[in-house]
Amino acid sequence: MEQQTIPLNDRDLSWLHFNFRVLSMAETPGVPLYERVKFLSIFSSNLDEFFRVRMPALLALHQLHEGEKGALSAAQQEIARQLNEYGRIFTQVVIPGLQEKGIRLYYGESPAPEHFPAIRDYFFNTILAYLRPVRLRLGEPMELFLENNALYLVVCLEDGGTGIVNIPSDHLPRFLRLAGNDILFLDDAIRQHLDFLFPHVGIKAAYSIKVTRDAEIDVDEFSGHLLQKVEDMLVQRQMGVPTRFLYDAAMPDALRNQLAAYFRIAPPELATGGRYHNLRDLSDLPLPSDASAEYPKAPPAYCNAIDPGRSLLDQVQERDFLLHVPYQSYDYILRYFNEAATDPEVREIYVTLYRVASTSRIAHALMSAAQNGKKVTVMVELKARFDEANNIRWAKRMKAAGVKILYSIPGLKVHAKVALVKRKRGFYWDHTALLATGNFNESTARFYADHVLLTRHQALTQELELLFIYMQTGIQPGKFNFMHFEHLLVAQFNLVERFKTLIRGEAENARNGKPARITIKLNNLQEKSMIAELYAAADAGVEIDLIVRSICCLVPREGIRVRRIVDRYLEHARVFIFHNGGKELIYMGSADWMNRNLHRRIEVCFPVYDPAGRQQLKDIIALQLADNTNAVILGADARNLPVPREAGAPGINAQRDTYAYVRKL
């Protein structure tokens, strides 16, 4: 099948439909009120990232290719539709819901007079220290640079002039909690005092604006050492070209056009917004404690198969353990690294780190290990988008503590989530491996749903050691008598061809009249050749079920069903199940089926051999395929469609029911 002729949904529209599903959770019956506020915040944060990462490509295509202008227009129309829905849900559903709880969020209205003294004192004693009021000279060369995603008020003055003042939400809380449960935007506390910032002229009106700038800057554009390249990139990113100039819809057209000319904003970059921008800050809304407005507490379960009184490293030598976070405690992963750092028989530790927690206990354990005389080698991916600065900070700290730091691979990102611990016990060595679908990050592990395998399987640990040799030396497995990857699937080596072989094997079974089934769970599905293989398998009679959280360029058709789950936790695991003539093959790993994952990254997928772990994965995936509450089915146009549910049928919620299932293990 020709890749150029296969039907595909637009990548960006598919992602926008995913984000709309996030938004729709803010008015989904059964979602507690405070959680609805969080979904509004997540939607806004996601959309900001879209403008930083994807909009530059759409704008470039718009300028270079006449035929591609429809992609930009379609995305802009969908975003406008979603923002209208956002405003409706926020003002007609969430704010009234807060009022029913006795919480008043002032939204475009003046606060009650009894709050004026407190607002005045906070303005003069605190806010004023961070303000930079400026009079603009519109029509003359630009003198003011608008910082990326920073908030500003454009002020129309009675003398015909125009002022601008920053809203310092990066230094101060975005919301002021007033007496009782009244809450005021920081923006409005500043609006109330504009006559002090621009004295003796009078204030006619004020409108909020912000500029989002291009975040996609290739480190190959810079010369010098990789660490310095990335540090330079972080500075360059904040100076990137605008991709969106967001302005209050109430702003007069003449003023908008003057500002666009002054700040050098092209027409496709203009975007209408509301009175308030950066509503991702809603995650910090100072709400009073109310258990009824939040999801029920779900403390992580312990793994009953693990004896807390014995060494975890010893127990992994006896059997595999498959952990399901956040349903089960992440403490086991922390303990794995802590034991490795202090066990006198551990000699070597190897780890890949993609997104490091800001207060990483894992990084501290690795530093302790090095200071305890162990050989510790850590591959830190410096090019993990938006985590570069934090990763650099930790890389420098670990290096200073004696950890050997590997700074990425030219032209590739290391996205694998793997660790290897080597112990010398007398004359013998034993190896244990930790292979995961998610980052070694205890902060995100609280709300990312992932799977983690602890194993001593000899073939897996040997091949993992080969991967670390490659990352340190560039010597590829298979050269100089090194063994090949046979069990691990590693992008850049065998991952793509192995998955294609597995899909084709199912297609061959179907053509021969044998049962054939593929079940795959991914975050994103976009790579054309993999989609073509799935189409061909479905045409041969293979039954295919896909669970795709975000981007899905595959068009559902006969034999291929696609569903999406958006709920309390972020579905982050990648799982691959092939019927294989009744001898199922089950893999997990870090790799989505995107061009970047399959062709520009080091990814690791790994087989699950332990019978108990295999059954657990199958049971959890079965719950996700049966979800009829928060799951949706993707239509042929990638839009979200409700899962059919017969009257009286019990509600199945995959995340709720997975938690109950895991607690019984």
CATH number at residue 230: 3.30.1840.10
- pLDDT number for residue 1: 41
- Regarding whether 539 and 476 lie in a shared domain, the answer is no
Please give the positions annotated as active site. Answer: 415
| Alpha-carbon radius of gyration of the chain | 27
- Regarding whether 119 and 78 lie in a shared domain, the answer is no
In a domain, 295, yes or no: no
> Is the Cβ–Cβ distance between 15 and 550 less than 8 Å?
yes
Give CA–CA dist 26/13, Å, rounded. 20
Nearest to 41 by CA among 219, 287, 235: 287
Among 424, 459, 487, residue at a domain's last position:
487
| SS3 assignment, position 481 | coil
Residue type, 97: G
Half-sphere exposure for 626 (CA within 13 Å, toward CB)? 16
Task: Give, in order, the Cα–Cα distances in Å from 512 to each of 313, 330, 503, 545, 579.
Answer: 46, 45, 14, 21, 14
Residue 571 burial class via C-beta count within 10 angstroms: exposed 0-12, middle 13-18, buried 19 and up: buried
- Global pTM value: 0.93
In a domain, 305, yes or no: no
In a domain, 300, yes or no: no
- Regarding whether 561 and 652 lie in a shared domain, the answer is yes
Find all residues with CB under 8 Å of 528, minimum gap 6, and list them. 3, 6, 8, 553
In a domain, 651, yes or no: yes
Find all residues with CB under 8 Å of 23, minimum gap 6, and list them. 39, 40, 43, 82, 85, 86, 89
Among 432, 465, 487, residue at a domain's last position:
487
Give CA–CA dist 435/466, Å, rounded. 15
- Regarding whether 466 and 346 lie in a shared domain, the answer is yes
Nearest to 430 by CA among 487, 347, 339: 347
Specify the number of domains making up the chain.
Answer: 4
- What does the block give as tokens for 193? 């005092």
> Is the Cβ–Cβ distance between 238 and 148 less than 8 Å?
yes
- Regarding whether 518 and 397 lie in a shared domain, the answer is no
- Regarding whether 352 and 452 lie in a shared domain, the answer is yes
Give CA–CA dist 86/32, Å, rounded. 17
- pLDDT number for residue 223: 39
In a domain, 198, yes or no: yes
CATH of residue 550? 3.30.870.10
| SS3 assignment, position 393 | helix
- Regarding whether 128 and 85 lie in a shared domain, the answer is no
Give CA–CA dist 236/81, Å, rounded. 32
| SS3 assignment, position 601 | strand
The ranges of the chain with pLDDT < 50 are 1-3, 219-224, 234, 237
- pLDDT number for residue 221: 39
- Regarding whether 440 and 403 lie in a shared domain, the answer is yes
- Regarding whether 155 and 76 lie in a shared domain, the answer is no
Query: Which of the 8 DSSP states describes residue 437?
Result: S
Is the dihedral angle over the CA atoms 454, 460, 461, 464 positive or is it negative? negative
Give CA–CA dist 48/151, Å, rounded. 13
- What does the block give as tokens for 467? 């991967």
Angle between helices 388-400 and 361-371 (to 10 degrees): 20
Residue ranges of the annotated binding site for Mg(2+) are 355, 385
- pLDDT number for residue 481: 53
- pLDDT number for residue 33: 98
Residue 143 burial class via C-beta count within 10 angstroms: exposed 0-12, middle 13-18, buried 19 and up: exposed
In a domain, 304, yes or no: no
Among 487, 518, 548, residue at a domain's last position:
487
Find all residues with CB under 8 Å of 665, minimum gap 6, and list them. 301, 303, 304, 305, 616
| SS3 assignment, position 131 | coil
- Regarding whether 404 and 320 lie in a shared domain, the answer is yes
Q: Give the domain range for residue 519.
A: 495-663
- Regarding whether 323 and 219 lie in a shared domain, the answer is no
- Regarding whether 507 and 373 lie in a shared domain, the answer is no
Angle between helices 11-24 and 69-89 (to 10 degrees): 0
CATH of residue 32? 1.20.58.310
Give CA–CA dist 418/434, Å, rounded. 6
In a domain, 615, yes or no: yes
Residue ranges of the annotated binding site for ATP are 46, 448, 549, 572
Residue type, 158: E
Give CA–CA dist 152/145, Å, rounded. 11
In a domain, 578, yes or no: yes
Residue ranges of the annotated binding site are 46, 355, 385, 448, 549, 572
Residue 451 burial class via C-beta count within 10 angstroms: exposed 0-12, middle 13-18, buried 19 and up: buried
Task: Kindly report whether the peptide bond that precedes residue 326 is cis, defined as omega within 30 degrees of 0.
Answer: yes
